[in-house]
Structures are given as C-alpha cells and as structure tokens.
Amino acid sequence: MDAIVDDWEGQLRKRLNTVAPRPLGLATGRTMELFYAALVRRLQQWSGSDLERLRSGWLSFNLDEYVGLSSTHANSFAFYMKQRLADPLGLLPEQLHLPDGAAAQPDLEARRYSQELQRAGGIGLQLLGLGGNGHIGFNEPPCGADAPCRCVQLCAATREQNAAAFGGVSDQVPARAITLGIAEILAAQELHLIVTGATKTEILRRVFANGCDPSLPASWLLRHPRVRLWVDDAALGLR
C-alpha cells in the first residue's frame, strides 16, 4: 500500500493549491480498509494547518451503497466511510457523499445522486476495487460502457463475496444497491484501480486479457486515458 499512499498523499497536497478541484471518488470493500488505514496514518502526520486545509476543502462521492441500509447501519458503506475515514480525519458527514440506501424510491435516489455529482463537477480522482466477477462499483456483468448511475440487482456471486460482513450468510446481503455507472466512472479525470490478494489473480488476468467486454465491466477501464493499476505480488500470481 505504500506506493499508492505516497501517490495519494502527493495528489491531496496538490489539491490544496488547486482552485475548486473536482470531488474525490471513493470506494469501499476489504481492499480499501488497508488503504484508508495507511492513508489516515500518513495524513495525521501533516502539519496542523495543512490538515485543517485538507479538512475544510474535503468533498468526496462514493461509488455505491446497499439499498435498504441507512447510514447508521453497521454494514452500510456510509458507516464504513465514517469509521475508516471521516471520524479519524475529523471530516463532517456532509463532506462525504453516498447514495441514501434508505431512500423510499431507490431509482429516484440514483438519479438525485447522479445529478448531485454532476453539479459538483464530476469525479476528479476515482478509487476503484475489483469485484470477484469483474465488477467495479456495483456494475454487475453484463454492463455497457454507457451504463449510468442506477439501482441494480446484485449477482449471487457478489452477495457471496460480501457475505462475511453479514455473518457469512449471503441471503442477509441486500439484494440491490445504488451504484455510479460505468459512464460516471469513465468521466473521471483519473482512475486508480487497487487489486490485492491471490483470489483476484485470475479475474485480473481476464479483465485485461482481451480488450473491452461487457461481461467483464472492469475491462471498460481500458478506454480511459488515465488509469493506474496498483497491484500486489499475490494478485499478480507471484506468491
């Protein structure tokens, strides 16, 4: 994680001197737990005045949220972000935007969230993890490059993958989520995909093996002019 934390520290410093930078795009998942922990440790070493400037200018939009979970639910992505980033850095809840999983009409909420993001200028630097079936955000396969922010049905494999947080029972994982689409992701200025661990080796290879393919949503990243891939040796199959 050191290399990407070095990079993000530099990017965040640069943003301090940028007029109205576009919002950060943030992700959740186990991969990001290590990233946020390392980033927070690094940022806490900043001088008080730089940290205060970072805090006051913070604006981020997350990729996704489970439908049916409110922001106070321990398994919501809103709660994850509060615990791992907002609280340790002293950010206000309203500086971190996520879709409202408890909204009565998820389709409308997806549209509202997308409009809110457009009004904020679209994503600047977007952080991404890779799902076991090749999804990014919750863009489940098959998925086209123009898919917008929307409410989606989660695949059985994804609910299985994320079951650990729900007592290991995949039926307890919400069946739907609101996610930014491939369209909003590709509209970001720069994309950073982090892939770690041996369980991701095969999907990582497939995603980048044969060009863009709707059955592997992450493969649309090949279309973006500024993508950085951060991988560990295990994900590369080297250990």
Site residues for ligand GLP per CB under 6 A:
27-31, 63-64, 129-131, 137-138, 158, 162
CB-closest chain residue to ligand GLP: 129
Check if 87 is active-site: no
Residue placing its CB nearer to ligand GLP in the complex, 21 or 25? 25
Choosing from 140, 162, 184, 192, which is the catalytic residue?
Answer: 140
| Catalytic residue, candidates 62, 109, 133, 232 | 133
CB 178, min distance to ligand GLP, A: 11
Longest dimension (CA), the chain: 48
For ligand GLP, which is the closer residue by CB, 21 or 28? 28
Q: Is 94 a catalytic residue?
A: no
Q: Active site includes 232? A: no
Spatial neighbors of 89 by CB under 8 A, at least 6 apart, are: 40, 43, 44, 51, 54, 55, 58
Question: Cα–Cα distances in Å, from 95 out to 16, 89, 130?
Answer: 16, 12, 25
Please state, in angstroms and rounded to a whole number, the distance separating the CA atoms of residues 22 and 14. Answer: 12
* List of E strands, the chain: 24-26, 60-62, 64-66, 96-97, 125-129, 150-153, 176-179, 190-195, 227-231
Tell me whether residue 64 is one of the annotated catalytic residues: yes
Nearer to ligand GLP, 129 or 174 (CB): 129
| Catalytic positions, written as ranges | 64, 133, 135, 140
